Structure 1
Amino acid sequence: MVGRPRIGVLALQGAFREHARMLRDAGADVVEVRLPEHLEGLDGLVIPGGESTSILRLASLYGLDDAIRSFVGPILGTCAGMILLDRAHLGLADLEVDRNAYGRQVASFEADLELEGEERPFRGVFIRAPRVREAGADVEVLAALEGEPVLLRDGRVLVAAFHPELTDDPRIHERFLELVTEATSVRA
């Protein structure tokens, strides 16, 4: 990677515009991904929150499910994106995830999260959030809520049960861009 990283944001449904804004503010060039060919030449990919069933259906319809499985760069999945990346769906993260496990839309909440390696808490926005039922032995927990993992890394995949794009705090997107820089250095 020379210069600014090129990051794709899956733009089928959900909070893709908010992710694009955060990534641009953090120094990335952003491409909205709607078709498999939009993944070409990207350094990383974000799968946003939204309605996981709708995103999966559209991804399958447009052939993006297989294209995402073949994508070799780092991936950030938030909320519904975490669901899509788990073992039962795209199979890119060694996780089993339960949909809407923190309750319905009316049970949405915010909570301070202690991020690994950070002194200042991150304000997590949880909207119909998924819950990790099981994580593989090599999956690293980067933040927890009341003892339950809500930010995890599995190799090149970073997943969050919450919506970092709905805050003004860039740290989750910055961590993802660090992962992208790491991966592109290794590939070079």
Structure 2
Amino acid sequence: MNAAAGAIGVLDLQGGVQEHLDHLRRIGVAARPVKRAAELDGLAGLIIPGGESTCLSRLLTIFGLDDAIRQGYGNGLKLWGTCAGAILLARENVGEMPFLGLMDIAVNRNAFGSQLDSFNRDALAPAVAREPIPLTFIRAPKIVQAGPGVRILLQLDDYIAAAEDDQILVTVFHPELTPSLAFHRYFARKCGLKVAETDDAALDPDWTPQSWTRFSYHV
């Protein structure tokens, strides 16, 4: 088996890359940044982090990672899109052209308004954790429709905040910006990786918003 097969990659073009790597390290999962198509080889999963979806789509095209991700998906690679990542994975982007189009969902980009309309709240996603977990929304999209093969993990008000199908997980919020490791554990298990048995709702008491700066990651 390729040594990377026990690892999860984080797309390293823009957005919350180091924060995701830090969370994966905290649950004991091997993780590495991904900047080149060849670095997808053998990974169990790939996180497409939040950032700016238009910028990310251009960079993915420039680096040839768009086709590489589609090919990896066709070969069984698990994907998790957070915020902008969810937009890129959606089959429909209301009023705009979709990009990767790999998941049967429709998203409304910037549905909450500007950066000033970002917010935090707690919510219960029963399939992910038994207790409410903290959520951080930053210029977030809304998932406004899900196809028959999509399972809704979290519904809030008039929109879907988290969903999955057999191969893809999407969240419109940023789990990597909170002390909760629940969604990272959930994705690692989706990738077939073992993580420590623990209370998935428990918050990491050692986490701070600056925690990721303690680690150094290299390509």
Q: Same fold (TM over 0.5)?
A: yes
Query: What is the Cα deviation at residue 73 of structure 1?
Result: 1.4
Match of 1:142 in 2: 153
Pair 1:9-2:10 in alignment = yes
How far apart, CA to CA, are the structure 2 residues paired with 1:52 and 1:34? 16
Taking the TM superposition and a 5 Å limit, the aligned residue runs for 1:61-100 are 61-71=62-72, 72-87=76-91, 88-100=98-110
Check the 8 A contact 1:86/1:94 in 2, yes or no: yes
User: Percentage identity across aligned positions?
Assistant: 43
TM-score, with normalisation over the residues of structure 1?
0.92
Would the alpha carbon gap of residues 3 and 105 (structure 1) be closer, same or farther in structure 2, given more than 3 Å must change?
closer
Q: Deviations over 1:25-82 (max 9, x none)?
A: 1111112111100101211100000011111100000000000111121111100000
Query: What is the Cα deviation at residue 4 of structure 1?
Result: 8.2
Query: What is the Cα deviation at residue 96 of structure 1?
Result: 1.2
Taking the TM superposition and a 5 Å limit, the aligned residue runs for 1:1-188 are 5-71=6-72, 72-87=76-91, 88-117=98-127, 118-181=129-192
Aligned residues: 182
TM-score, with normalisation over the residues of structure 2?
0.79
**Letter matched to residue 170 of structure 1:** L
Check the 8 A contact 1:77/1:159 in 2, yes or no: yes
Q: Deviations over 1:114-154 (max 9, x none)?
A: 11243310111000001112210111001121252101001
Please, what is the CA RMSD of the aligned residues?
1.6
- Equivalent position SS for 2:192: helix
Match of 1:186 in 2: none
Check the 8 A contact 2:4/2:42 in 1, yes or no: no
**Which is further off, 145-154 or 48-57?**
145-154
Check the 8 A contact 1:31/1:38 in 2, yes or no: no
**Which is further off, 143-152 or 159-168?**
143-152
- Structure 2 unpaired stretches of 5+: 92-97, 194-219
Would the alpha carbon gap of residues 125 and 18 (structure 1) be closer, same or farther in structure 2, given more than 3 Å must change?
same
- Structure 1 unpaired stretches of 5+: 183-188
Match of 2:216 in 1: none
How far apart, CA to CA, are the structure 2 residues paired with 1:147 and 1:103? 15
Check the 8 A contact 1:75/1:156 in 2, yes or no: yes
**Which is further off, 159-168 or 128-137?**
128-137
**Which is further off, 157-166 or 19-28?**
19-28
| Structure with greater Cα Rg | 2
